[in-house]
Structure 1
Amino acid sequence: MTDDTLEKSRLTLLGLGAMGTALARAWLAAGHPLTVWNRTPGRAEPLAAQGAEVAATAAEAVAASDLVVLCLLNDASTGEVLAGADLVGRDLVNLTTGTPAQGRARARWAQERGARFLDGGIMAVPPMIGVPESGAYILYSGSRALFDTRHDMLAVPAGAVYVGEDPGFAALYDVALLSAMTGMFAGVSHAFALLRKEKDVSPKEFAPLLTGWLTAMAPYAYGVADHLESGDYTRGVVSNLAMMTEGNATLLRTAEEQGVSAELLTPFMDLMERRLADGYGDEGTTGVIDLLTRYRTTEPST
């Protein structure tokens, strides 16, 4: 152990799945004394060889450090693992994937037990952790004082981005970003499906065109944000809803010709047609968001 290690702050990590192990290795590589615990003890052995202290129980691991980080299976497992631990005076950072409501409830739960709390959403896969050039970052929400105090340690595995005092915001941002990614995956899947039966089309040769096109279209998000904040859904629109809805027929016809199901496209197209039928043909596609939120907030009829 070096003098630098002695000067680094200690922390505890509960949960050593693929992501938890990647986090642990990043903190150990940075010289932070680390106590770990995992329900399956064997997963801790490689980390012990790298200098981690292995606790026999979760309660013992919590007692070893003022900063406790969790990277467990789900919110229920978080409650189970911490049930017998003394959290008074601890800083609790929960990187377990959950929903906004679970983050808020867990923050209240932690406060009732005398702990400060941050919820987190990891925007990375394990190989990106501890690699600064990977672009990985972790969203945090909850106690600003905790975030500021522990920022340097939290920024070791990945960039640390604070998104608000509301403990549910990290999970909300996380799921919103993952939802956008899922939509992109759907579009990419449909694009490759259209080419699938063409023997003279190489997927590898098409991929650079596809990634370049998606990159060029990404600033669309800024336009949507401007529409939502200004309330003017026509501002800066080049291809309006009427034009795009008309063009959808060609997309659907091509899918039929190629023997490809359009089921990944039609839900969004149906919303576009509804918005057009409501008389908003001069807008872009931002109005679809209003259709979605109205659906979510409509009270059931009695």
Structure 2
Amino acid sequence: MEETLTAPAAPAPSKEPARSGRTESEKALRKKRRVAITRPWTLLAPSLVVLAGLLLWPLIQVGKLSLQSYEVKFGGGVGTWTGFDNYRALLSQDEFWKYVVANTVFFAVACVVLTIVLGTLVALLLNRLGTVWRLICGSAIMAAWAMPAVTGTQVWVWIFAPEDGIAPKLAGSLGLIDPATTNWFTERLPFYAIATLNVVHHGFPFVAITVLAGLVTIPKELYEAGMIDGANAWQRFWKITVPAIRPVFMVVGILSTIWDFKVFTQIFMMPGADSQEEMLNIGTYSYLKAFAADDYGTGAASAVILTLILLIITLVYIRTLFKQGEEDL
């Protein structure tokens, strides 16, 4: 019987080198990811520390003050812990909801809508101008944005001043009012109409320049294709312009909302704002409660409420940006 001779089986190739190489590459990848995550925070750390000192610590102190009944005395002050009594007293006031909150919300919404509409119209106009005229007109409108809020408010107060103001004289010459007996700063609706003009005049240049920066990035071929398809000006704007620069509108909308909710100077500097509760918004109400009425606890509580509103708006803004970034990817 013959025996069949078979060659010995070749040893299986070792997988150690491949596994070792893969492990090293995974370690390097994890290290890169760790560095990519930690490096930005490391670079931002000094600025974050400064911001924490300038913003976070005062915010903590205001929150602490809102939970106390604080009395100013010579050489300092004494606070008595009252818990949420200031918030309960504040939120239970009908005048606070009827005037302060209502003024803040409706005034901010009106300012945001009008600022974005006017800023967009100006941006569309600038986009159609030549380089020289665009530079001239852009510089002119930026002067309104660069004007301090105090100066701009005084100008609008001068325009609508009783008897001697340009606007009352013009309305009187048309027979609409009697300038001698009409004072628009003593009535709630005219008061906030003037304040809205002031805020919109001060804020629309930022919207115009920002929207213009988005408009110049839109390819002209898209508009030419729309015109060939028979789209009119409104259809081209709604179907081409708005989708193309939607992130720009989102940014200016959220930022304008934050700014207009916390308007203080344009209201406080107008006549009658410190003497009539129906003229106040949350910012001026907080200031007058704390420093005019020496009710620091209630003033701090209203400031915390305004901060929470702005925080919610900011969170919505950040979430919207992240969502927009995911859609772009």
Give the TM bin, normalised by the shorter chain: under 0.3
Compare the two structures and name the one with the higher strand fraction: 1
TM-score, normalization by structure 1: 0.24
Greater share of residues in helix: 2
**Greater CA radius of gyration, 1 or 2?**
2
User: RCO (CA 8 Å, sep 6+): is it higher in 1 or 2?
Assistant: 2
Give the TM-score normalised by structure 2: 0.22
